[in-house]
Amino acid sequence: MSTGADLQARARANAQALQAELHWLDGVLRARLAGHFGTLDGAAQLAAPPPLADGPTADDLAQLVQRCGLGLDERLLLALALAPYLRPQLLDLLFVTNENLNRGFCEFGGWKARQHGGFLPTVETAAFLLAGDDLARRFELHRLLDDGAPLRRHGLVRLQHDAPGEPWASAALLAGRDTLDLLQHGEARKPDYSANFPAKLIQTRLTWRDLVLDADVMDEVQAIATWARHGDTLMRDWQLEKALKPGYRCLFFGPPGTGKTLTATLIGQQVGADVYRIDLSMVVSKYIGETEKNLAEVFDQAQHRHWILFFDEADALFGKRTAASSSNDRHANQEISYLLQRVEDFPGTVILASNLKGNIDDAFARRFQSAIYFPMPDADQRLRLWEGMVRHTGRLDVDVDLADLAERHELAGGAIANVVRFGAINAMQAGRDRINAADLRQGIAKELRKEGRTV
């Protein structure tokens, strides 16, 4: 694990490397402008790139270039995407006005931000920088910025196009968030839950020993974990990519509190993947297009990361489509269709959780690789849950008979956890250091009332 001193040293090394890279970009840009305005032969005057450090102590930029196999053109594109974040004044040269038309030069590209005052590059800017008026070189740019090319495949740069029907080159050229974090801070940071990122990293201190499931269910769960860990190998080395789409989609369904969220979290823990739970209240919007935009932010960030996306209460987003009798119905159906496409195209693991399988749209259910039912635990499983939650605490009174509670009361693991919490609070309020049978009985009665049942 990196220490603070290690990260500071890496940040300094990265700053030096980026300084040289941006200086190179500045030289290329000035030469290209000079050639464009006829003051010199720009193609012959392009600046030479700075040498990259080598070896295990190389800065993160050098390692990134080597690991992703970037050529000189790709390095220049990456530097252009980074410039607004690291040295925005470098691109001010492109604000020059076309005096004949009293506006900027369209061949320089660029897009206007809401608050940022600098020049923000587009693909057109990149085309001018790399190709000038050379049409064949502009065609080559398409290849460099294709979805499957290193810059996009590894998430080093992003393209953002908010105006359908306009030329492809008008798309904004943005630096990847992970790339920015890595080069600025020496490590990629995990995104935080916010209005702009409606997903929360979920973690647990529990282990598989704390999860009580049938052996058949565990077998199905482990199949998901195997794919999450070895999916790339199976697709590439086993040559399954010709027959199968990348990614794995599965549905967890069953009563509340039966372990669906914990199972998803433990799969991530086992395979070393972050699990992000999508907050549906932050995603769904009454405004047309906003739901898709909110979800796109999550999928775009997850696209190049080893994430597991977990949609809890998924029927709110993936519910059945209805007959389109109104504009609202058509909008809702459009949202579901968009979700189907994004989830199906996502190369990682997506887990949906629902209380009822029948609530999920049939067209999407057919695309699941697996659908796993989480039943209510039987008496033996309930006893294991009770034992796992309170026996080790040493805080049970002698009058507590866990076997009897497990036999008499049908409760899911989540409900049992609530009963234990209530019992501990009740004992603390009464000034006792042990949970007695009455505390647990009151807690059970409270849980059953929540579910509309009686003791």
pLDDT in tens, 418-453: 999 999 999 999 999 999 999 999 999 999 998 888
Same domain, yes or no: 408 and 301: no
Number of domains in the chain: 3
pLDDT of residue 43: 46
Based on the domain organization, do 128 and 221 belong to the same domain?
no
Provide the residue range defining the domain that includes 120.
4-185
Q: Is residue 396 one of the residues assigned to a domain?
A: yes
Residue 95 within any structural domain of the chain:
yes
The answer to whether residue 225 sits within a structural domain is yes
Question: Is 201 or 112 the better-scoring residue by pLDDT?
Answer: 201
Please, which pLDDT band fits residue 288 given cuts at 50, 70 and 90? low
The pLDDT of residue 326 is: 52
Does some domain include residue 190? no
pLDDT band at 455 (very low <50, low <70, confident <90, very high): low
The answer to whether position 455 is within a domain reads: no
Same-domain pairing of 272 and 357: yes
Residue 193 counted as domain residue:
no
Distances (CA, A) of 112 to 81, 95, 119, 120, 409: 15, 11, 7, 7, 63
Same domain for 67 and 51, yes or no, is yes
**pLDDT band with cut points at 50, 70 and 90 for residue 44:** very low
Whole-angstrom distance, CA of residue 177 vs CA of residue 158 = 9
Please give the share of the chain, as a percent, with pLDDT higher than 70.
89
Confidence of residue 27 (pLDDT cuts 50, 70, 90): very high
* Spatial distance between the Cα atoms of 396 and 385, rounded to a whole number of angstroms: 15
Quick one: 209 and 348 in the same domain?
yes
Selected residue with higher pLDDT from 342 and 136 = 136
- Domain boundary residue, one of 373, 398, 426: 373
Averaging pLDDT over each range in 132-141, 214-223, 331-340, 341-350, which range is the top one?
A: 214-223
Considering the domain boundaries, does residue 30 fall inside one? Answer: yes
Residues 41 and 172 placed together within one structural domain of the fold:
yes
User: How many angstroms separate the CA atoms of 273 and 349, rounded?
Assistant: 10
Of 158, 185, 212, the residue at which a domain comes to its end is 185
248-253 and 370-373 as β-strands: parallel, antiparallel, unpaired? parallel
Regarding whether 338 and 267 lie in a shared domain, the answer is yes
Residues 180 and 222 in one domain: no
pLDDT grade, residue 360 (50/70/90)?
confident
Category of 431 on φ-ψ map: left (φ > 0), alpha (ψ -120 to 50) or beta: left
Query: Residue 435 carries which DSSP code?
Result: B
Distance separating alpha carbons of residues 92 and 110, to the nearest angstrom: 11
Contact assessment for residue 224 and residue 250, using Cβ atoms and an 8 Å cutoff: yes
Q: Are residues 233 and 368 in the same domain?
A: yes
Instruction: Count how many residues are written for the chain.
Output: 455
Are 366 and 388 in the same domain?
no
Predicted TM-score of the model (pTM): 0.75
Q: State residue 355's pLDDT score.
A: 86
Please check whether residue 18 lies inside any domain of the structure. yes
Query: Based on the domain organization, do 345 and 207 belong to the same domain?
Result: yes
- Does residue 232 sit in the same domain as residue 312? yes
pLDDT 10s digits, 167-210: 989 999 999 888 998 898 877 777 776 666 788 899 999 999 99
CATH value at residue 442: 1.10.8.60
Distance CA 59, CA 178 (A): 16
Domain at 240, CATH number = 3.40.50.300
Q: What does the pLDDT read at residue 46?
A: 67
